[in-house]
A = this chain, B = another copy of it.
Amino acid sequence: MAVRAAVAGASGYAGGELLRLLLAHPEVEIGALTGNSNAGQRLGALQPHLLPLADRVLGPTTPEALAGHDVVFLALPHGRSAAVAEQLGPDVLVIDMGADFRLRDAADWERFYGSPHAGTWPYGLPELPGGRAALEGSKRVAVPGCYPTAVSLALFPAYAAGLAEPEAVIVAASGTSGAGRTPKPHLLGSEVMGSMSPYGVGGVHRHTPEMIQNLSAAAGERVSVSFTPTLAPMSRGILATCSAKARGGVTAASLRETYEKAFADEPFVHLLPEGQWPATASVHGSNAVQVQVAHDEAAGRIIAISAIDNLAKGTAGGAVQSMNIALGLPEELGLPTIGVAP
A102 within 8 Å of B by Cβ?
Answer: no
Contacts of A107 in B (CB 8 A): none
Q: Which residue of B lies closest to A48 (CB)?
A: B282
* Selected contact of A237 from candidates B188, B194, B297, CB within 8 Å: B194
* Selected contact of A280 from candidates B195, B272, B303, CB within 8 Å: B195
Q: A224-B300, A296-B226, A338-B20 are in contact. Are A173 and B232 (CB under 8 A)?
A: yes
Contacts of A23 in B (CB 8 A): 338
Q: A202-B303, A294-B202 are in contact. Are A195 and B279 (CB under 8 A)?
A: yes
Evaluate contact between A196 and B280: CB separation under 8 angstroms.
yes
A284 within 8 Å of B by Cβ?
Answer: yes
Interfacial residues of chain A within 97-155, with CB under 8 A of chain B in the complex:
none
* Selected contact of A236 from candidates B183, B194, B243, CB within 8 Å: B194
Evaluate contact between A13 and B342: CB separation under 8 angstroms.
yes
Evaluate contact between A224 and B298: CB separation under 8 angstroms.
yes
A9 within 8 Å of B by Cβ?
Answer: no
Q: A169-B169, A340-B340 are in contact. Are A226 and B50 (CB under 8 A)?
A: no
Evaluate contact between B198 and A226: CB separation under 8 angstroms.
no
Bound together, the chains give a CA A86 to CA B164 distance in angstroms of 49
A278 within 8 Å of B by Cβ?
Answer: yes
Contacts of A184 in B (CB 8 A): 183
How many copies of the polypeptide does the oligomer hold? 4
Q: A184-B183, A241-B228 are in contact. Are A190 and B50 (CB under 8 A)?
A: no
Closest Cβ–Cβ distance, residue A106 to chain B (whole Å): 17
Closest Cβ–Cβ distance, residue A192 to chain B (whole Å): 4
* Selected contact of A176 from candidates B50, B171, B188, CB within 8 Å: B188
Bound together, the chains give a CA A169 to CA B292 distance in angstroms of 18
Contacts of A198 in B (CB 8 A): 239, 241, 277-278, 305
Provide 19 A-B residue pairs closer than 8 Å at the C-beta atoms, listed in order of the A residue: A48-B282, A51-B282, A52-B337, A52-B338, A167-B300, A169-B299, A171-B171, A183-B184, A191-B281, A194-B236, A195-B234, A195-B237, A195-B280, A197-B281, A198-B278, A201-B294, A202-B296, A232-B232, A340-B340
Binding site for B on A (CB under 8 A): 13, 16, 20, 23-24, 44-45, 47-52, 54, 167, 169, 171, 173, 175-177, 179, 181, 183-185, 187-199, 201-203, 224-226, 228, 230, 232-237, 239, 241, 243, 270, 272-273, 276-286, 288, 290, 292, 294-301, 303, 305, 307, 336-342
